[in-house]
Amino acid sequence: MLFDVRNEVFGEMRLPGLDRDLDSSACADTSISVVRGSLCVLVAKSRTDLSCDVWVMKEYGVVESWTKQFSVVLQEGITKCVELTVGGKILCCTKKGEHGNVYGHEELRHEPLPSQLVLYDPATDEYSYVGPAPTCKNVVSLVASLALLNGTL
């Protein structure tokens, strides 16, 4: 679903290759973000084996311009790919964990750890801890902007 601000109409935009790549029985996850001005889609092909495809739309609104940037297989315990950051890292959520060290962050607690936000760097294949997340169901990225729809202050 898309909204054309100029013409004030709703429409549909086809996503890249989803009809043929997804495991339909797994209810896969899709996240949409904007990176360097281009629409970006992260597609988790399956909830049981989290491999993530990163697609970028080179020309906005042109379905044929979707380009697969890369695919990664994420570490066990990752439950959601939230977004691709400007630096090329993938913001991910983990499932609720056990006690102790999770992705390099020592937790001194007696109860199970909450879900975690971690950054995955495909270039180095390393994870870095961002912070706890009470739940990852509704994690979204917020991008601040000073741009106004009508162009005036």
Across the strands, what pairs with 31? Answer: 42
Q: For 24-77, how does the pLDDT look when each residue is reduced to its tens digit (9 = 90+)?
A: 444 467 788 888 888 888 887 766 667 888 899 998 878 889 999 888 888 877
Find the mean pLDDT for residues 126-144: 76
Q: Where are the domains of the chain?
A: 2-133
Q: For 80-122, how does the pLDDT look when each residue is reduced to its tens digit (9 = 90+)?
A: 788 888 788 888 888 766 434 445 555 544 455 578 888 999 8
CB 71 within 8 A of CB 54: yes
Predicted confidence band of residue 22 (pLDDT cuts 50, 70, 90): very low
pLDDT at 48: 62
Whether 141 has a pLDDT exceeding 50, the answer reads yes
Residue of 22, 142, 28, 147 whose CA lies nearest to 85: 142
